[in-house]
Amino acid sequence: MRFKIVHETEYEFSSEVFLEPHKFRFKPRMAPYIKLESFALDISSSPAGLSEQLDPEDNFIHFCWFEGMHKKIIIRAESVIKTQPHNPFNFLIFPPTVNQIPFVYSTDLSPSLGPYMDTVRLDPELMAYAKELLQFKSANTLNFVIQLTSQIHNDFTLEFREEGAPYDPNETFELKRGSCRDLVWMQIQLLRNLGIAVRFVSGYYYVDVEEPRYELHAWSEVFLPGAGWVGFDPSNGIVTEHTHIAVASSSLYQNTMPVSGTIRGDATSELQTSLSIHVLDP
């Protein structure tokens, strides 16, 4: 399939402000089954300079700096993507010890996976939620992660929230609802507390429905030796395939935000976003 993705983000300020250097993360990440045919980024407040670079986790960023005062900034990213059907289970977990939780990553992997295993404190009730599923799946790693992904989808109400950091996992569990990033951050912390390396992914998800409402989506990727990074989407209860198009991934959710930067001034800001995904070639 070929997709055209148009993602527009607008910040309007109550008075003129000076834009400090900003990082923009809009360029989709390629994969063996995803090819980026074209990409264009248009910034209404023309930057004084722009540097294309990779961040420490190999995410593509546009680093921009500005001059003068600005009342508004509009960022428009247009991508054309070609994807191929992908079997997410085309792997062999190795060594076999990884098939059972708990397991320990090998010494050659542990240093690089360290940031993806940092945890926050979880309430006993939340950990019990995961451990009950773990016991039900006889501690089998892959079956457990699949079931946890499905269970979160079934047990929690998905809601739309355009701005703000993910809720604390304990708050999400208590509310039994949250945005995609809330559910993902809770899942990530549950898995990390069980010794599994997981990262936060931000990107686009195409769904074949009559009147889709698109927004930036979030899911998790678990590192399984022999498989690499495998995606799981708790908002939809599924393993990710070729219709999940990643833009950025990180051990920290804040390092996947499409726009990051500060302003100088006392103004308030209003955010508006629009996202469209069109099929060019089924």
Residue 16 belongs to some domain of the structure = yes
Q: Are residues 193 and 124 in the same domain?
A: yes
Q: Are residues 143 and 235 in the same domain?
A: yes
Residue 122 belongs to some domain of the structure = yes
With beta carbons less than 8 A apart as the criterion, state whether 81 and 31 touch.
no
Q: Are residues 204 and 76 in the same domain?
A: no
Q: Are residues 8 and 127 in the same domain?
A: no
Structure confidence at residue 45 (pLDDT): 85
Residue 251 belongs to some domain of the structure = no
What single-letter amino acid sits at 244? Answer: H
Q: Are residues 74 and 126 in the same domain?
A: no
Q: Are residues 12 and 131 in the same domain?
A: no
Q: Are residues 129 and 40 in the same domain?
A: no
Residue 169 belongs to some domain of the structure = yes
- Total structural domains in the chain? 2
CATH of the domain at 158: 3.10.620.30
Residue 247 belongs to some domain of the structure = no
Handedness of CA 232, 238, 241, 247 (dihedral sign): negative
Residue 254 belongs to some domain of the structure = no
Residue 24 and residue 245: Cα distance in Å, rounded?
17
Q: What's the Cα-to-Cα distance from 131 to each of 82, 101, 105, 136, 139, rounded to whole Å?
A: 40, 11, 20, 8, 9
Q: Which residue range(s) make up the domain with 47? A: 2-84+259-281
Write out the chain's pLDDT in tens, 282 residues. 999 999 999 999 999 999 999 999 999 999 999 999 999 999 998 899 999 999 999 999 999 999 999 999 999 999 999 999 989 999 999 999 999 999 999 999 999 999 999 999 999 999 999 999 998 888 899 999 999 999 999 999 999 887 889 999 999 999 999 999 999 999 999 999 999 999 999 999 999 888 888 999 999 999 999 999 999 999 999 999 999 999 999 999 999 999 999 999 989 999 999 999 999 987
Q: Are residues 73 and 144 in the same domain?
A: no
Backbone phi, psi, residue 152, to 5°: -60, -40
Q: Are residues 44 and 116 in the same domain?
A: no
Q: Are residues 185 and 267 in the same domain?
A: no
With beta carbons less than 8 A apart as the criterion, state whether 271 and 163 touch.
yes
Residue 250 belongs to some domain of the structure = no
Q: Are residues 235 and 174 in the same domain?
A: yes
Exposed/middle/buried for residue 6 (C-beta within 10 Å: 0-12, 13-18, 19+): middle
Q: Are residues 106 and 234 in the same domain?
A: yes
Residue 91 belongs to some domain of the structure = no
CATH of the domain at 16: 2.60.40.2250
